[in-house]
Amino acid sequence: MLAGELVLLKTSHRGKVREFIVKVCDDRMHTDFGVVDLSELMEKMPGDIVVSHKGQEFILQKPKMPDFFRHARRTGAPMMPKDIGMILAYTGVNRNDVVLDAGTGSGILAMYMGSIAKRVVTYEVREEFVDVARKNIESAGLYNVELRCGDIVEEIKKLDEKFDLITLDTQNTKDVIPHVKDVMYPGGFLATYSPFFEQTKDIRDAIEAAHFYDVMTIECTEREISFSPRGTRPSTTKVGHTGFITIARG
């Protein structure tokens, strides 16, 4: 591993898995299981073992975006991977694309986009959310994600940039949509997230008024399957609905 690389250290204790995302450096990581000399990681590869001063073994892995999702600090309910996956699939975002995101929150969607797209500009109106999101983005080592504090309803009118994909997860999304085409490349995608029927209807009305095409609104429900000695069945502990995704093309 190279200095500055991010590493996932995984161990288990009494049947429970513990994970730590760390940066390869000359520092030390202090845990309940002892101190790990992080400089030793420079001589390791994914799959190798590093041992704390108490003898606890940690296996090295390369962290992926689901790992950052689990370990990120929260400022409310983030968009879930199942919904993010729908946006990625239906917009076809790729490494050549520049993305405008609004409603950063914890930074989860911006982070997923940043792991794929060329560049992401994300807006969050609440300063306390900006601080948390910035730390999450920095912890993921994403230097192509630019976080700005501001109200997208006003800020979008000032932008002189063009974007391939615009994602909106805000309470006032309907007020942003009339200005989206001004900053979108022809044929670009708009993707919105809304938890309620009423908000989604307002979004659809705004999209229709702005003359987008190929518009669809979808809901992705998820059921985890539970396995036990009694039998196999859908889990009763998960909530299926999170929000509605609306995709449109400009």
Three-class secondary structure of residue 245 per DSSP: strand
Average predicted confidence (pLDDT) for the chain: 94
Task: Report CA-CA distances (Å) from 122 to 6, 91, 117.
Answer: 23, 17, 13
* Residue 45: pLDDT over 90: yes
User: Where would I find the H helices in the chain?
Assistant: 65-71, 81-91, 108-114, 127-139, 152-155, 173-176, 197-209
Cβ contact 21:36 at 8 Å: no
Residue scoring higher pLDDT (237 or 119):
119
Torsion 105-87-150-136 (CA) sign: positive
* Residue 238: pLDDT over 80: no
In eight-state DSSP terms, residue 77 is -
Per-residue pLDDT of 136-164, as tens digits, reads 999 899 999 999 999 999 999 999 999 99
Domain 67-249, CATH number (from 3.40.50.970, 3.30.230.10, 3.30.470.20, 3.40.50.150): 3.40.50.150
Q: Please tell me the predicted confidence (pLDDT) of residue 239.
A: 64
Q: Please tell me the predicted confidence (pLDDT) of residue 89.
A: 97
In the chain, what are the domain boundaries? Answer: 6-61, 67-249
Residue scoring higher pLDDT (76 or 22):
22
User: Please, what CATH class does the domain formed by 6-61 belong to?
Assistant: alpha beta
Cβ contact 11:36 at 8 Å: no
Cβ contact 115:136 at 8 Å: no
Angle at 63 between CA 99 and CA 240, to 5 degrees: 70
* Residue 88: pLDDT over 70: yes
* Residue 2: pLDDT over 90: no
pTM above 0.85, yes or no: yes
Per-residue pLDDT of 162-202, as tens digits, reads 999 999 999 999 999 999 999 999 999 999 999 999 999 99
Burial 65-74 (b: 16+ CB within 10 A, else e): bebbbeebee
Percent of the chain residues past pLDDT 90, beyond the cut: 87
C-alpha count within 13 angstroms, C-beta hemisphere, residue 117: 28
* Residue 237: pLDDT over 80: no
Q: Please tell me the predicted confidence (pLDDT) of residue 3.
A: 86
Three-class secondary structure of residue 145 per DSSP: strand
* Residue 235: pLDDT over 80: yes
Q: Please tell me the predicted confidence (pLDDT) of residue 15.
A: 84
